[in-house]
C-alpha cells in the first residue's frame, strides 16, 4: 500500500479569505439599494445621457434626507426640478418670482434679488417644519413634500 502524498502546508496568504469576513449591515445594503434604484431611474429619465458618478453622489446626499421615500419618486421629482422637464409645474424660483411681482416687490422680468430668494426658501423651510409630524410611512411627511417643491436643493 502506497502512502498518499502529504498536502503541502498553506502559506498565510493562501489561508486568508478572498472576501470580507464581515458582511455589510442590512442598513447599509438598504442604503446602497436605494441609491442604485435612484441612479437607475435618473438614467431612464435622462435616456442614458447623464454622469453616473455625479448622479450617485446626488443619490447619496438625497438618501440621507428623503431615504424613507421611494427612490424612483425622488429621482423623478429631482430630475424635473433640475431640468425643468415637468412643464406643468414651474420651478420654485419662478413661483417665488411670480409672487414677488404680484405683491409689488419686483417688476415683471426683473430677477428676484438673492436676499428675497433666500427669504422665500426660509419661509418654505419653516412651513415644512410645521407639518413634518404629518407622516405617511411610504410617502414621507407633508414637510418633505413642501421641501421637495419649494426648498433649496442641498447641493
- Beta bridge pairs of residue 140: 136
Backbone angles phi, psi at 18, to 5 degrees: -85, -5
Distance between CA 95 and CA 100 in Å, rounded?
9
- Beta bridge pairs of residue 136: 140
Q: Say which residues have a Cβ less than 8 Å from residue 108's Cβ, sequence separation at least 6.
A: 101
Burial letters for 49-72: b for 16+ Cβ neighbours within 10 Å, e otherwise?
ebeeeebeebbbebbeebbbbbbe
pLDDT for 133 beyond 50? yes
Domain segments of the chain as ranges: 25-89, 90-155
Confidence bin at 60 (pLDDT 50/70/90): very high
Residue 7 has a pLDDT of 56
Confidence bin at 5 (pLDDT 50/70/90): low
Residue 55 has a pLDDT of 93
Average pLDDT of the residues in 81-94: 65
pLDDT for 72 beyond 80? yes
Confidence bin at 19 (pLDDT 50/70/90): low
Amino acid at each position: 500500500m502506497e502512502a498518499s502524498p502529504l498536502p503541502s502546508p498553506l502559506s498565510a496568504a493562501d489561508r486568508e479569505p478572498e472576501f470580507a469576513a464581515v458582511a455589510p449591515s442590512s442598513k447599509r445594503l438598504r442604503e446602497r439599494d436605494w441609491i442604485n434604484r435612484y441612479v437607475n431611474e435618473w438614467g431612464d429619465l435622462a435616456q442614458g445621457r447623464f454622469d453616473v458618478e455625479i448622479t450617485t453622489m446626488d443619490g447619496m446626499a438625497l438618501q440621507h434626507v428623503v431615504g424613507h421615500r421611494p427612490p424612483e419618486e425622488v429621482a423623478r421629482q429631482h430630475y424635473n426640478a433640475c431640468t425643468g422637464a415637468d412643464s406643468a409645474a414651474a420651478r420654485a424660483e419662478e413661483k417665488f418670482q411670480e409672487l414677488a411681482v404680484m405683491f409689488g416687490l419686483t417688476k415683471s422680468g426683473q430677477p428676484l434679488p438673492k436676499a428675497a430668494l433666500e427669504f422665500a426658501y426660509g419661509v418654505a423651510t419653516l412651513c415644512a417644519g410645521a407639518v413634518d409630524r404629518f407622516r405617511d410611512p411610504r410617502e414621507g411627511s407633508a414637510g418633505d413634500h413642501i421641501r421637495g417643491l419649494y426648498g433649496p436643493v442641498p447641493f
